[in-house]
Amino acid sequence: MIGIDTDLVREIMRNKKRLDNRAADKYRKVTIETNFVTSAEGSARVRLGDTEVVAGVKMDMGEPYPDSPDEGVLSVSSEFLPLASPDFESGPPGEDSIELARVVDRAIRESKAIDFKKLCITPGEKVWMVFVDIDIIDNDGNLIDAAGLAAVAALRSAKIPDIEDEKPVFSRKGKKALPMKGIPISTTFAKIRDYIVVDPGLAESEALEARLTVGTVDSEGIKICSLQKGGTSSFTIEEIGSILETAEDKGSELRKLVK
């Protein structure tokens, strides 16, 4: 498959136009389907335009970290599957995949959306470990936002396994939901020839010069919970100011889609 020429994308965007004629602040169509995988404690399949990801939550009992003996453990990983793009190869996770997982992890963790204290079983000994694995199925750009939506939707659909004889039961669904409050949302902005747009598509993701992902959460009003700049160019403080404002609005729109 022949990709779209990066120079051409930049030339178009220099005139404040997008390839698919979207407005600068318009997301592609988002669909979220939860409990898509029944073997998982929680799951979600998210489509963002033609980008598609599946997130699954698996839980297990384990030891807490020594510095937080009464808190559960969260771990987020992602796989850029070779079936998702001619550019993805199998093998250990690359820096893009590691960054994506860490940015998604940061927004969830820092938003305090999960009450980790309620995931403690025996302080200092046994806690719930929550593993969020994100499979990138189809890459049409802006994987971070799709992955963030999928992770949060999967967590909100997750049920803690019942415990029998001090062991988790995986053969049937538990009854208790994960203790969550607030919905953290990642919104990603791309800067191309000084034109700043939300939800970059694949051609835009490849042509972007600078990128900013903003995590927002609805906790006592809207707050910002994480930031991650990417790309090999820069932002001015004014640009960051207007991005943060748009991120709050877009976050509120996307949040309504996560039940």
Which of 10, 109 has the CB closer to other proteins?
A: 109
* Kind of pairing between the strands at 185-192 and 195-198: antiparallel
Contact region with other proteins (CB under 8 A), list: 106-114, 134-142, 158-166, 173-181:
106-114
Q: What residue type is 10 in one-letter code?
A: R
User: What is the spatial distance between Cα 102 and Cα 228, in angstroms, rounded to a whole number?
Assistant: 10
Q: Is there a contact between 97 and 87 (Cβ–Cβ < 8 Å)?
A: no
Q: Are 59 and 160 in contact (CB under 8 A)?
A: yes
**Count, residues near other proteins per rule CB under 8 A:** 37
Structure tokens, 186: 């990642």
Nearer to other proteins (CB atom), residue 162 or residue 206: 206
Measured CA to CA in angstroms, residue 159 lies from 44, 115, 169, 201 at distances of 13, 14, 12, 33
32 or 74: CB nearest other proteins: 74
Q: Does 53 contact other proteins by CB under 8 A?
A: no
Is 101 near other proteins (CB under 8 A)?
A: yes
Asked if 205 interacts with other proteins (CB under 8 A), we say no
Rule CB under 8 A: choose which of 134, 225, 254, 258 binds other proteins: 225
Report the interface residues with other proteins, using CB under 8 A.
Answer: 67, 93, 95, 98-99, 101-102, 106, 109-112, 212, 217, 219, 221-237, 240-241, 244-245, 248
